Amino acid sequence: DGGITQSPKYLFRKEGQNVTLSCEQNLNHDAMYWYRQDPGQGLRLIYYSQIVNDFQKGDIAEGYSVSREKKESFPLTVTSAQKNPTAFYLCASNPGRKNQPQHFGDGTRLSIL
Amino acid sequence: DQQVKQNSPSLSVQEGRISILNCDYTNSMFDYFLWYKKYPAEGPTFLISISSIKDKNEDGRFTVFLNKSAKHLSLHIVPSQPGDSAVYFCAASDPLSNFGNEKLTFGTGTRLTIIP
């Protein structure tokens, strides 16, 4: 079955630590995205990538970093510079062509200990 | 500045009746609109979309209406079923972003509860 896999589902981080969230897709999609959701808010775009070895900042990129070395994988690192990292993180992908909906993984909930 | 607004945080509807979820937007350059359904601790699931060249799109029990002059879209679910209880997000695509049309702006969601 094709889909988007995010791991882990729950993640705990100590103050000052970097953590990396995994996102893998087997849909052969060119474009991948990372969003953040906070309680009572919509999804906000952190980073996106249209093709391998290319990525762009979204609306709230500060304190985050990404890489896109393979088409299937788009890991997100939450660095210690992110002041309020506790949130629900969602990865999405789509073919990258016009008017194609984005499809989401099941998310990773990050909490600070 | 919130460009996509869902002004009703919650909505309760009797099973079998019509559910109508509303969404307003301010950016007249949005040209593609989507509705997603989300259960707790899961990712959003794509439901239905509409291009700005249309005013209606239907898929089974789900119909999306777009009123460009009012900058308003709505999602109709008929008949409503208990499994429809979830949070619904509308989203809009900005064609002027530097990578084409796929930068989505989301509303804050409406929690729909279907009463058996």
Percentage of chain A exceeding pLDDT 70: 99
Partner B, chain A 67-86, Cβ-Cβ below 8 Å: none
Q: Which residue does chain B place closest to A5, by CA atoms? A: B43
> With contact defined as beta carbons under 8 Å apart, do A79 and A15 qualify?
no
Residue at A35: amino acid letter: Y
Subunit contact A42:B89, Cβ cutoff 8 A: yes
Q: Alpha-carbon distance A23 to A75, whole Å?
A: 6
Q: List CB contacts of A55: < 8 A, sequence separation 6 or more.
A: A47, A48, A49, A66, A67, A68, A74
Q: Is B82 helix (H, G, I), strand (E, B) or coil?
A: helix
Picking from A31, A44, A103, the nearest residue to B102 by CB comes out as A31
Q: Alpha-carbon distance B43 to A97, whole Å?
A: 22
Contacts of A94 in chain B (CB under 8 A): 102
A1 pLDDT above the threshold of 70: no
Write out the two tokens for A16: 């000052």
Regarding predicted confidence, which is higher, A97 or B61?
B61
Q: List CB contacts of B18: < 8 A, sequence separation 6 or more.
A: B76, B77, B78, B79, B80
Average pLDDT, chain A: 92
Residue at A113: amino acid letter: L
Q: Alpha-carbon distance A107 to A87, whole Å?
A: 10
Percentage of chain A exceeding pLDDT 90: 75
Q: How far is CA A31 from CA A25, B31, B32, B97, in A?
A: 10, 19, 17, 15
Q: List CB contacts of A112: < 8 A, sequence separation 6 or more.
A: A12, A13, A14, A15, A85, A86
Residue range A18-27: mean pLDDT, rounded: 96
Determine the pLDDT at residue A11: 93
Write out the two tokens for B29: 């350059």
A88 pLDDT above the threshold of 90: yes
Determine the pLDDT at residue B96: 55
SS (H, E, C) A54-96: CCEECCCCCCEEECCCECCECCEEECCCCCCCCEEEEEEEECC
Q: Which residue does chain B place closest to A87, by CA atoms? A: B41
Q: Chain A within 8 Å of B4 (Cβ-Cβ)? A: yes
Determine the pLDDT at residue A99: 85
List chain B residues with pLDDT less than 50: 101
Determine the pLDDT at residue B98: 60
Partner A, chain B 60-89, Cβ-Cβ below 8 Å: 89
Subunit contact B4:A41, Cβ cutoff 8 A: no
Determine the pLDDT at residue A42: 86
Residue range A11-29: mean pLDDT, rounded: 93
Q: Chain A within 8 Å of B107 (Cβ-Cβ)? A: yes
C-alpha triplet B98, B3, B48: angle, nearest 5°: 80
Q: Which residue does chain B place closest to A48, by CA atoms? A: B103
Query: C-alpha A67: how far from its chain's center?
Result: 10
